[in-house]
Structure 1
């Protein structure tokens, strides 16, 4: 059975004693905060899926892989706990001042499952939706810290769980996305797949951004294939003419 490092036990005492002296409403927020945060992450998984509808197969693959990556990180954490067998500080530390109820014996402490899930959720979301990093990463840190604050984990438990989640989830998400991308493209060929995953991206739409700086199909082209910036397109050239590959000949003005 693993024994907690002395420095972590000392830090646990300081944090839990500070927490015990805070108002009761802070205790309530800290106890329900972890579960509420997990619900928010679940909502962001759904938002990420919706955002990826119509994007390319890899983007949708990353969005779909996010919850599976979290489950994978959790399983690694749970299996590790059964081998390491570190007792909870609310039982092992003399005079522990835990706010939350101490988990039952046999529910081991290292690493923290809650910290692993919070970090894995945040990391998987960031991999699929980078703009959410300033929101989800601080939230995951706060959720992890709350487990020490309420007195059910040592600081090193949540630190290890956080690192585990941040490492395992992105790796699993990227691997799953590679497998899922061709499947996403194939499913978009049927009606049910289009309803769930959105239509396939349309290449060459006028005005759409094209990777690599290429000129979108239908955009005015000048000398040497460069875009004709600032030039007015001849009104006689209609969209059916361009799409048919026939550019009407411009008559000389009298």
Structure 2
């Protein structure tokens, strides 16, 4: 089933050469878009002095890092080969690597960011979820992963981000509230330094 779906998408990719430049660029460098979205979420929260929303944006980034770390462990245990290592005659639009195929690192990272922002900043979260799904599709389209690889990545990233959101944002919010009393972080948090008594 997984191979059949991969081959179907691969044949579709072979017939849609006009989409190759975008798909290849997004599959390789789309994570930069998510970094920009995180920056926008931070800026929106900073401009209003909303520490809870700011903590949510920071947690989204932290969750991506945690999920990627877990993904390395899981991937090393499963050690699934990339589809182009086991299937012959497939179109591959990106550089071939020899690391594990499941879970997809790209999908893991963007899944965590998407769920984190869905929780903390719904307007940005909606757009981020759509972009995360697009990332997952393009990673299969360019021949780098099976569909289950990217679905596993999205699920892992989303699970880490969602499950840890309450505790993660609370811890970060407390750190920011404490740090906000120091003048050197007031520009970062967007709130005035508390005056001395």
TM-score normalised to structure 1 length:
0.70
1:20 aligns with 2:18: no
Aligned to 1:50: 43
Give the distance between the partners of 1:101 and 1:63, measured in 2 at CA.
32
Q: CA deviation at 1:89?
A: 0.6
User: Shift of residue 153 of structure 1?
Assistant: 0.7
Q: Is 2:2 the partner of 1:8? A: yes
Corresponding residue SS for 1:158: helix
Q: Which runs of 5+ in 2 are unaligned?
A: 193-197
Are the counterparts in 1 of residues 41 and 124 from structure 2 also a CA contact under 8 Å? no
Query: Displacement, 1:81?
Result: 0.7
For the residues of structure 1 that align with 2:60 and 2:156, how far apart are their CA atoms? 15
Aligned to 2:56: 62
> How large is the RMSD of aligned CA atoms in angstroms?
2.0
C-alpha distance in 2 between matches for 1:94 and 1:82: 24
How many residues align? The count is: 193
- Whether 1:112 aligns to 2:107 is no
Give the structure 1 partner of residue 73 of structure 2: 79
Deviation at 1:94, TM superposition (A): 2.9
Cα distance in 1, alignment partners of residues 183 and 167 from structure 2:
27
Which of 25, 30, 38 aligns to 1:32? It is: 25
TM-score normalised by structure 2 residue count: 0.89
How far the C-alpha of 1:56 sits from its partner, in A, is 4.3
Structure 1 gap segments, 5+ residues each: 1-6, 201-254
Structure 2: how far apart are the matches of 1:101 and 1:181?
Answer: 40
Could you tell me which of 119, 142, 150 is aligned with 1:158? 150
After TM superposition, list the pairs within 5 Å mapping 1:97-176 onto structure 2: 97-104=91-98, 107-176=99-168
- Structure 1 runs of 4+ with >6 Å offset: none
Q: Distance in 2 between matches of 1:35 and 1:101?
A: 9
The structure whose Rg is larger is 1
